[in-house]
Each structure stands twice: as structure tokens, then as C-alpha cells.
Amino acid sequence: MEFVELKSSDELQRQFRITDVVDFWKLVGHLPNISRLARRIISMSPSTYRCEAAFSALSKIKCRNRNRLSLQHTTEGLRIAVSSAEPDFKSLVQQKECQKSQ
């Protein structure tokens, strides 16, 4: 119902045209649900850095020479590529047993 009131009010439409976007949504406090939603959307970060980094990593993983990777291998490679975790190679090596030649 709030949306219908917002859409049908000539005064609110006029205020929207002449007022700053953030100030407008503060002004319409009598429409709490739509006002809260609009302020959340306005406050979202416009950065697409993580998405761009993931697509860049995916293009390196799934290139022309490696186009037959399974979905599982591609997913695991992408997870490793975008993760900030560093493996502890020393402990990983210590957990493995060397193969003894006969």
C-alpha cells in the first residue's frame, strides 16, 4: 500500500524531483517500509571489485588450453584463486610420509 500511496501522491513526486535523494527518503518517514528499503539500497557499496576479480581468475582457469576441466575442478580452482587463505606448507609436508624405494 505504501508504494501505491507514493506513486499516487503528486506532492511526493514533486518533492522527489526537487529534493536530494537521501533527504527525500528521510522526508517520507510516514512510509516506513519503502523508506527503509530505499535507504538500504542507497547505502549499498557500488564496488564490483570482488566480482571482477572472480571473473578474471575464472578466465585464467578456464582458458582455451584447459577447456575440458570438470565443473568440480573449475569450482575448486576458482575457490583457491579468490581465497585469501595461505596454506601452511610446512605442516602439510610433515603430515605426509615419504615413499621408500625398495
Q: How many domains does the chain have?
A: 2
Residue 102 maps to a domain = no
**Segments forming the whole domain that contains residue 17:** 2-42
Q: Are residues 7 and 35 in the same domain?
A: yes
Q: Are residues 35 and 18 in the same domain?
A: yes
Q: Are 18 and 12 in contact (CB under 8 A)?
A: no
Q: Convert the pLDDT of each residue in 9-41 to its tens digit.
A: 888 888 888 988 888 888 888 888 888 888 888
Phi, psi of 101 (to 5 degrees): -80, 150
pLDDT at position 66: 82
Q: Are residues 36 and 51 in the same domain?
A: no
Question: Confidence class of residue 85 from pLDDT cuts 50, 70 and 90?
Answer: confident
